Amino acid sequence: MSNMVININNIIYDSIVDGPGLRMVIFMQGCTHHCFNCHNPTTHELKAHNLMSINELIEMIKNNNHTKNITISGGEPFLQYPALLCLLKQLKNYHIWVYTGYTKQELINLNYDEIFNYINVLIDGRYHDELKSLNIPFIGSTNQKIHYFKK
């Protein structure tokens, strides 16, 4: 467990739109991508919003008896990479999806690819309003890709 702090915008305990099945969604605070018509602009500010320890967040997740499916979104989760990695290392028995505005290759270039060992799915790429799609489940624009990993 860890006393490391994570900056959270919001937590939804029972989403059905942020990945398959019933999911707990953790929206992290802070984003520098500023995609035009972002669906979650309240997450952009980099200031402290709702700081909690990783231990507190783990307890909240474990106390949610509704689902073992977790989606991490934002904001941009990878702006808090050390805390994100610490969190995900402790969620071995959960099915984890992570949304990011970075591409998978950008994450590799940033040396953030260790995280791929701890997640099941990565949805990558910035949202492009001119490529908006309502036909492909779980993505916002057609440039975004869904990457599957064995955890």
Q: What is the pLDDT of residue 38?
A: 78
Return the pLDDT at 41.
82
Mean per-residue pLDDT of the chain: 92
The architecture in CATH of the region 5-148 reads Alpha-Beta Barrel (3.20)
What's the rounded Cα separation, in Å, for the pair 106 and 48?
Answer: 25
pLDDT over 90 (residue 45)? no
Domain ranges (residues) in the chain: 5-148
| Residue 79 contacts residue 43 (beta carbons within 8 Å) | no
Of residues 46 and 61, which shows the higher confidence score?
Answer: 61
pLDDT for 85 equals: 97
Q: What pLDDT shows up at residue 150?
A: 82
pLDDT digits (tens, 9 = 90+) for 58-112: 999 999 988 999 999 999 999 999 999 999 999 999 999 999 999 999 999 999 9
Residue 121: name the closest of 81, 44, 69 by CA. 69
Helix (H, G, I), strand (E, B) or coil at 38: coil
